Structure 1
Amino acid sequence: MRLKQQGFTLIELVIVIIVLAAIGIATSSYIATGIGIYTDISERDRELNSTRFVMERLRRDILNALPNSLIVSYSGQCLTYTPIIKSTLYDYDFPISPFSSSTAGIASIDDYSFEDGDKAVVYLLQADELTSNKVQPISEVDGETISFANAVSFPLGSPSKRLYIIRDSKSYYFNSSKELRLAEDCFSDGSLMANNIEGDFLVFEPTLQRNGLAKVTFMLDFDGQEVPIEQTLHVNNVP
């Protein structure tokens, strides 16, 4: 007795191939969608982490900025500030107008190493006074004595007898390449702080109730959608 041979017909094979192809397409589309979502989330998380780093760096820098030294320029694209190297208190013999002297007594400064170009600042009230006689170059700091290159006379004394030592100013700026950079001057070569970012700065003058403030608005670009993030920066010190 012959056994009847069993098998698939051509139509059945075609149907199976079509079903498997449909399942493969659906599966690959699902995997591709998941990979795209993961990649997008990872990219956004990377940009947000970069922005968080910049926000923390800005907070620390402006917190320790010289009071009333903040300047916004280039239509809000650049924020210039003067970092404080050290602060101390001056003695009764400090050269406040009408008195003048090339040396004076100060409270000792810990962990300070003098560098050429260091300057002493007393009672700065406006940023444009950085080029006035409220800022005087230092020639030496030895213990509790500060020396100037020539006899100097500061026009106004600080109510708290506070003296700040500064060096060069720094600038944060947004450029046309959607980068935030930190440099010696606005739009000069500097360190890249974040990319794929735009924004602007705004400075609020101090009042009797608070110190000076700066506000920065970051505009992040997520696939063509702009997301604003605002940060308020406080100047911790007073004249």
Structure 2
Amino acid sequence: MQSRRAQGFTLIELIMVMVVMAIITIGIGRFVSLGTEGYLQTRDREQLQSQARFAVERVARELRNAVPNSLEITNNSQCLSFKPIQYGGDYINQSLTDITAIIGFVAQTAAPIFQSYMQLVINPQKLQDFELNNHQVATVTAINIGTETNQWQFELDGQHRFDSGSLAQRFYTYTHSVKFCIEGNSLTRTTIDNAGTQSQPVLLSQYLDSSLSMFTVDNAALARNALVAWQFTFTRNGESSRYNHTVQVMNAP
């Protein structure tokens, strides 16, 4: 006759084992779940910071190549636009009255290439100086080689008179404008050529809090060039990161 011990487990014993296994399983599952959540939060945080650093650096780098005094804030401080320098140099014209070309030396060593809707500006002091009916800007129709090394002749669309010259005899050319905009929770970049054709917005970053993000411009003064500041606040999964950055536009009229 078999002993009672050899007959197997009782129902109570089975229930106790199942309860203990359930507790262990729940504990292990919770531990794995916490680890997974921590990994996902860390990954999202790194992605958010990477996007923020990219956005700040992208805006800063492009602003350093802005034509002087071409900065403009629009849309309740949510958009910043400016004209990037295509070519810059020093002109040697003795007079800027009734001329058909600007002759000068460009800073770049490579030969300048003519592009449609290229415009040339001298001594811009305000946004109105970039309007075509103003006497500080002219349309370029061709670029011809000069008589000296790295000297070029920028042909203008007819006889032109510049109201004021540059103290350093600088000139700049540009073919388009760049606009950075905070739209909803995104930062976008758009280009607008001098003919008015606008490109499709390019997404630079997401998760922006537009109510806490903005651009500001402190225009140039006698003692310094213009300062551009922006505040970007990124929010994701209940966490916020704020980035404040200021860039001085070093190019002078």
TM-score (norm 1): 0.90
1:115 aligns with 2:129: no
Q: In 2, Cα distance between the equivalents of 1:103 and 1:55?
A: 39
1:59 aligns with 2:67: no
Q: How high is the sequence identity, in percent, across the aligned residues? A: 24
| Aligned: 1:210 with 2:224 | yes
| Separation of aligned partners in 1, 2:234 and 2:143 | 46
RMSD in angstroms over aligned alpha carbons? 1.9
Shift of 1:207: 2.2
Q: CA deviation at 1:225?
A: 4.1
Which deviations, in whole Å up to 9, do the C-alpha atoms of 1:96-137 show, x marking residues without a partner?
2xx221024211553321111111111111123211221111
SS of residue in 2 equivalent to 1:29: helix
Aligned residue identity for 2:169:
K
How many Å apart are 1:227 and its aligned residue?
3.0
SS at match of 1:8: coil
Contact in 2 for aligned 1:170/1:182 (Cα 8 Å)? yes
Q: Give me the whole-angstrom Cα distance separating, in 1, the residues matched to 2:199 and 2:218.
A: 25
Q: Distance in 2 between matches of 1:58 and 1:104?
A: 31
Contact preservation (8 Å) 2:207, 2:236: no
Which range moves more in the overlay, 63-72 or 12-21? 12-21
Report if the CA contact (8 A) 2:141-2:156 is conserved.
Answer: yes
SS of the residue 1:150 aligns to: strand
Residue 189 in 1 paired to residue 200 in 2? yes
C-alpha separation in 2, matches of 1:42 and 1:190: 27
Alignment match, 1:141: 143
Alignment pair present for 1:48 and 2:49 = yes
1:60-118 CA-to-partner distances (Å, cap 9, x unmatched) read 1100001111100111011011000010110043x42xx22102421155332111111
Q: Which amino acid aligns with 2:182?
A: F
Q: What is the match of residue 155 of structure 1?
A: 163
TM-score by length of 2: 0.86
Please state whether the residue corresponding to 2:172 is helix, strand or coil.
Answer: strand
Summarize the alignment of residues 27-106 of structure 1 with structure 2, pairs less than 5 Å apart: 27-93=28-94, 95-96=95-96, 99-106=97-104
Output the amino acid matched with 1:201.
F
Structure 1 runs not aligned, ≥5 long: none
Q: Give, in whole Å, the separation in 2 of the partners of 1:214 and 1:227.
A: 20
Gaps of 5+ in 2: 146-151, 193-197
For 1:170, the equivalent position in structure 2 comes to 178
Tell me the number of residue pairs that the alignment of Structure 1 and Structure 2 aligns: 233
* Contact preservation (8 Å) 1:58, 1:233: no
State the match for 2:12 in structure 1. Answer: 11
Matched to 2:91, the amino acid is: Y
Deviation of 1:43 after TM superposition, in Å, equals 1.2
Aligned to 1:169, what secondary structure does the other structure show? strand
Q: 1:9: Cα distance to partner?
A: 2.6
Matches of 1:104 and 1:216 in 2, distance apart?
36
CA–CA distance in structure 2, aligned partners of residues 166 and 125 of structure 1: 16
Please tell me whether the aligned partners of residues 59 and 234 of structure 1 are also in contact (alpha carbons under 8 angstroms).
no
